[in-house]
Amino acid sequence: MKSALRRTARLAGRIGLLGVCTSVLAVVAMQFTGIIEKNVAVAREVAASRADISALRERERRQLQVIRRLSDPQGAVPEIHDRLRLVGPHEEIIYVRGLPAPTAPPDDWVAAGEDGR
Mind listing the pLDDT tens digit of every residue in the chain (117 residues)?
Answer: 678 888 999 999 999 999 999 999 999 999 999 999 999 999 999 999 999 999 999 999 999 999 998 888 888 888 887 787 777 888 887 777 877 776 766 666 665 555 555
Q: For residues 101 and 60, give the distance between their C-alpha atoms in angstroms, rounded to a whole number.
A: 42
Domain count along the chain: 1
What pLDDT is stored for residue 80 in this prediction?
Answer: 80
Answer for the pair 76, 88: CB distance below 8 angstroms, yes or no: no
Q: How far is CA 65 from CA 5, 51, 59, 75, 78, in A?
A: 89, 21, 10, 11, 15
Residue 95 lies in a domain: no
Residue 19 lies in a domain: yes
Residue 22 lies in a domain: yes
Domain housing 77:
11-84
Answer for the pair 51, 45: CB distance below 8 angstroms, yes or no: no
Which amino acid belongs to residue 32? F
pTM over 0.75: no
Residue 117 lies in a domain: no
Residue 57 lies in a domain: yes
Closest CA to 88 of 76, 71, 98, 100: 76
Residue 30 lies in a domain: yes
Region of 77 on the Ramachandran plot (φ > 0 left; ψ -120 to 50 alpha; else beta): alpha
Q: For residues 81 and 87, give the distance between their C-alpha atoms in angstroms, rounded to a whole number.
A: 6
What pLDDT is stored for residue 82 in this prediction?
Answer: 78
Residue 53 lies in a domain: yes
